[in-house]
Amino acid sequence: MKKFIFILSAAVIILGGCKKANFEGITPTGEGLVNFALRTPSSGTKLLLNAATPNATVTITWTASTPGLATAPTYKWIAALKTGGTLDAPALEIPSDVAGTATTLTLTQKQIDDALAAKGIAAGVATDFIWSVTSDNGSVKIRSTDVFNISITRMKDGASPFVLLGPVPTITPMEINPVSTTDLIKFNWTKSKPATGGPAVTYRVLFAERKLDANGKELPINWSTQTLFSIASDNSGADSVLTVTTKGLSDSLANHGYADLSVQANLKWTVVATSGTWKQQADYMNDLFILRQIKFYIVGNFTGWDINTPWEIITDKKTDRFGKVFYAYVKLNAGDEFKFFKVKGDWGSGFGNNGTSGVGFSTGYNQGGNFVIGSSGIYRLTLDVENNMAYVQQKQVGIVGAMQGWNPSSPTYGGYVNRNKFIIVTNSNAGEEFKLHDGSAGPAWTFGIKEDRWWGDAGSGNLNYDGGDPNLRAAATPRSRVIWDGTNGQQVKFEQSPASEMRVVGNGMQGVPDWNPGASPQMTYSGNGVWTITLTLIANKEIKFLSGNDWGAFDYEDNSGGSTATGTPRSIKWDGSDNFKTPTTTGSYTITLNEHTQTVTIN
How far apart CA 385 and CA 379 sit, in angstroms, is 19
Q: Do residues 267 and 289 touch, judged by C-beta distance below 8 A? A: yes
Residues above pLDDT 70, as percent of the chain = 94
How far apart CA 469 and CA 173 sit, in angstroms, is 31
pLDDT-derived band at 68, boundaries 50, 70, 90: low
Residue type, 498: P
Assign 3-state DSSP to the chain and report helix, strand, coil percentages, each to 5: 5, 40, 50
pLDDT above 50 for 2:
no
109: enclosing H helix or E strand: helix 109-118
pLDDT above 50 for 307:
yes
Which residues partner with 77 through β-bridges? 94, 133
Digit-coded pLDDT (tens) for 283-305: 999 999 999 888 999 999 999 99
Q: Give me the pLDDT at residue 13, please.
A: 40
Q: Do residues 268 and 221 touch, judged by C-beta distance below 8 A? A: yes
Q: Give me the pLDDT at residue 70, please.
A: 67
Dihedral (Cα; 580, 585, 590, 594), 10-degree rounding? -20
- Which one is predicted more confidently, 138 or 555? 555
Give all strands (DSSP E) within 276-388, no chain letters. 278-281, 284-292, 297-300, 311-312, 314-315, 325-332, 337-341, 350-351, 356-357, 360-362, 371-372, 377-384
How far apart CA 315 and CA 343 sit, in angstroms, is 14
DSSP letters for 224-263: HHHEEEEEE-TTTTTSSEEEEEHHHHHHHHHTTT---TTS
pLDDT-derived band at 577, boundaries 50, 70, 90: confident
Which residues partner with 480 through β-bridges? 426, 498
Digit-coded pLDDT (tens) for 149-176: 999 999 999 999 999 999 998 888 999 9
Q: Give me the pLDDT at residue 354, please.
A: 97
Q: Give me the pLDDT at residue 126, please.
A: 95
Q: Do residues 327 and 361 touch, judged by C-beta distance below 8 A? A: no
DSSP letters for 78-94: EEEETTT--TTS-SEEE
Domains in the chain with CATH codes: 2-153 (2.60.40.10), 164-292 (2.60.40), 297-394 (2.60.40.3620), 398-498 (2.60.40.3620), 503-602 (2.60.40)
Digit-coded pLDDT (tens) for 179-198: 889 999 999 999 999 999 99
Q: Give me the pLDDT at residue 350, please.
A: 97
Eight-state DSSP code of residue 403: G
Dihedral (Cα; 324, 330, 332, 337), 10-degree rounding? -30
Q: Give me the pLDDT at residue 9, please.
A: 38
Give residues with Cβ within 8 angstroms of 215, minimum separation 6: none
Average pLDDT over residues 133-146: 93
